[in-house]
Amino acid sequence: MRTKRNKKGFSLVEVLMAVGTLAVGMIFIGGTFLVGIYFSTIATERTIAAVAADEAFAKIKIFGGNLNSAVVGQQTPFEVLNAIDPNEFAYPSIKTLAESRYCWSALCRRVDLNDRRVQVTVFVSRRVGVGARYRNPTDPFEPVAALYRPVPLPVEVSADPGNDVVLTINEPGKINWINDGYTIVENTTGETYRVVERNADKPDTLLLNRAWDPKGIYPDPDTVWVVPPPIDRGRGPCIVVYQSEIVF
């Protein structure tokens, strides 16, 4: 009897428990690989975006002959001040806008009438997929050609008097333009804010990463600029936002 017990194999229950434990472990290991790929992609894109932004500031200095037309206390798209070849907005410069995966856009705001400083805010974005439709800057509710680039557009907002980290979107048609993690730029001061969360119960309400600081010079309602997601696509194209002051 003792010899028979020593030669006894694993039971079916023991095998199933071992396989189940192994399966759970492989699921967790697989999850870490996916997270690693995600953060690796983000790091790569932000590295590319930093170089693209440097190139954008250099081009703005070269082509920014009309920066003195920028308005104090108001953001103006760079292409409105200086009409340049659309392919100049592509990154890298050796590619056309149709060939490039990344592009940039910029807003300009004159700091003061008494000096020659212009605050330039550069948005570096990815062109999301083949055939992605973006919003027309002249008519934000209409799509433009697939080869166009994503650009920042204005959204009217108002501050919550009882909570200085909350904003309300005043334009119902633009509620879906701003989502979690997006960067917005205040129109009159050029201050940048990160959207921590868009309220699920009140989708027109935004929670900011810091207190709203208009410095007492803005009208209420105010305007913020943001690169909205492509039409019919969920992922936001804007990677990073950089600011610099340029003397024209």
178 within a domain of the structure (yes/no): yes
Percent of the chain scoring above 90 in pLDDT: 47
18 within a domain of the structure (yes/no): no
pLDDT score at 144: 74
CB atoms within 10 A of CB 195: 19
47 within a domain of the structure (yes/no): yes
- Give the C-alpha separation, 163 to 207, whole Å: 10
124 within a domain of the structure (yes/no): yes
Tens of pLDDT, residue by residue over 45-75, are 889 999 999 999 999 999 988 888 898 889 9
Higher pLDDT, 31 or 246: 246
pLDDT score at 147: 59
Nearest to 108 by CA among 66, 140, 53, 137: 66
Domain count, the chain: 1
Query: What is the residue range of 172's domain?
Result: 39-247
10 within a domain of the structure (yes/no): no
Q: Is the pLDDT of residue 235 over 60?
A: yes
15 within a domain of the structure (yes/no): no
pLDDT score at 200: 85
- Give the C-alpha separation, 132 to 43, whole Å: 24
- Give the C-alpha separation, 54 to 4, whole Å: 77
Q: DSSP assignment, residue 55?
A: H
125 within a domain of the structure (yes/no): yes
Q: Per-residue confidence at 17, pLDDT binned at 50, 70, 90?
A: confident
Instruction: Of 22-31, 40-49, 101-110, 197-206, give the lowest mean pLDDT range.
Output: 22-31
86 within a domain of the structure (yes/no): yes
